[in-house]
Amino acid sequence: MAMQLPPLPYTPDAEDLRDDEAATISKLNDTFDEILETTSQDYGHAVRAVHAKAHGILEGEFTVLPGLPPELAQGLFAAPGSHRAILRMSTNPGDILDDAISVPRGIALKLLDVAGERLPGAEGATQDFIMINGPVFSVPNAEKFVGNLQLLAKTTDRAEGAKVATSKVLQVINAALGSVGLESTKLAGLGGAPQVDPLGETYFSVTPFRYGEYIAKFRLRPLCPALTALTGTTIDTKHRRNAIRETLREEMAGIDGEWAFEVQLQRDADKQPIEDASVEWKEGDAPFVQVATLRMPSQDSWEEAKVRAVDEGMRFSVWTGLAAHRPLGNINRARRDTYRHSADFRGSTNRCPIHEPAA
């Protein structure tokens, strides 16, 4: 067994800024506008430019574990304690689609009453974590992501029946590729993802973040038997436009959910790059270690007031939080202005101010 390398310290020169980043962000904002304007006209209401459709809104508690070693007792995790937590489960398109169109799952986690120095422009006293159910991003950098987003923008207003048919074909193709270890993140993003139950999935930050004196990625993994029993199970979406939402609501009425929140410290800059989000940080080189537990008691996951407060009144961004967990890398730098741009569009169009919740 190979000796495990120590975690690498964070330094300001860990990132490699590109000369074209401002131009890329401008293209992203233009493409977001195309999606936002199309969907707001279609629905008579503005929705998110990505992850528009929520499937469940949960409230619970996030507890930092006691006795963490010094390299893990950093930032938010420097001392044991608990925070009220809000979890939004969604899928990634910017339009609200029939669940028969199978795309990757995502979560947005917001922790309340988080003390400490804030990131520039981060209001309130909250910490956001945004994750997807896969260990890598579909492209290495924001410039490549522009092309993917432009493709999605062109399909935003396309007939839904055609998308359902395409999704079924892509699911079959991607399942065949997966059987020989060649599953495609691009095909998954276009509708070829397996139709899995979100409650059984493991979620990854995909991009790296400062972790106090170190650098890390994050993971949220089902812990209790009621959730792990759902891992890999699929949802029947036939003739059920909101099948995922309905399934989650039925399941969470009887589940006290528990997840492990885990940290993966960077230990080798070549094997765990900062600027290429398409490279997986292999667990054998950089293990995940639990630093907190997320508990969501049984509840109505689609309670009207809760959905209205979170879907209409809140924004989630990797740039909402502590300076100790500053987002790193090209993809994250591009997220700062584009996420704000999308939220501002929603707030202005819907005439509903978006704000950080109080403790």
Higher-confidence residue: 334 or 163?
A: 334
Q: Per CATH, which fold does 12-350 belong to?
A: Catalase HpII,  Chain A, domain 1 (2.40.180)
Determine the pLDDT at residue 155: 67
Query: Please, are residues 267 and 6 in contact by the beta-carbon 8 Å criterion?
Result: yes
> CB of 216 within 8 A of CB of 329?
no
- Mean confidence (pLDDT) of the chain: 87
Q: For residues 49 and 133, what is the distance between their CA atoms, to the nearest angstrom?
A: 19
Please name the residue ranges forming H helices in 1-48. 21-43
Count of alpha carbons within 13 angstroms of residue 107, beta-carbon side: 29
In this prediction, residues 289-312 reach a mean pLDDT of 96
pLDDT of residue 256: 98
Please tell me the distance from the alpha carbon of residue 177 to that of residue 3, in angstroms, as a whole number.
Answer: 34
219 forms bridges with which residues in the sheet?
Answer: 204, 262
Cβ 235 vs Cβ 99: under 8 Å: yes
pLDDT value of residue 133: 94
User: Residues with Cβ < 8 Å from 221, sequence gap 6 or more?
Assistant: 202, 203, 259, 260, 262, 288
More confident residue, 164 or 64: 64
Separation of alpha carbons 148 and 151, rounded Å: 5
Higher pLDDT, 337 or 147: 337
What's residue 33's pLDDT? Answer: 87
Q: What is the pLDDT of residue 157?
A: 57
- First CA to last CA distance, the chain: 46
The partner residues of 303 in beta bridges, in order of sequence, read none
The angle, 0 to 180 degrees and rounded to 10, between the axes of the packed helices 330-350 and 142-155 is 40
Quote the crossing angle between the two packed helices 330-350 and 21-43, to the nearest 10°: 30
Q: Where are the domains of the chain?
A: 12-350
Q: Which of 60-74, 94-108, 120-134, 203-217 has the lowest mean pLDDT?
A: 94-108
Return all residues near 114 (Cβ < 8 A) that are at least 6 apart: 76, 83, 125, 126, 127, 321, 322
From 335, 310, 354, select the one nearest 56 (Cα to Cα).
310
Q: How many residues does the chain have?
A: 359
Lowest mean pLDDT among 95-99, 224-228, 266-270, 297-301: 95-99
pLDDT at 4 over 50: yes
**Backbone φ and ψ of 333, nearest 5°:** -65, -35
pLDDT in tens, 107-123: 999 999 999 999 999 99
Query: What local confidence, expressed as pLDDT, does residue 296 receive?
Result: 98
Q: 266, 9 in Cβ contact below 8 A?
A: no
- Global confidence as pTM: 0.89
pLDDT of residue 66: 98
Can you list the positions of beta strands (E) in the chain? 53-64, 81-91, 105-111, 127-132, 203-204, 209-211, 214-222, 257-265, 288-296
Whether the Cβ atoms of residue 339 and residue 321 lie closer than 8 Å to each other: no
Return the pLDDT at 341. Answer: 87
The 10s digit of each residue's pLDDT in 5-41 is 999 999 999 999 989 999 999 998 988 888 888 888 8
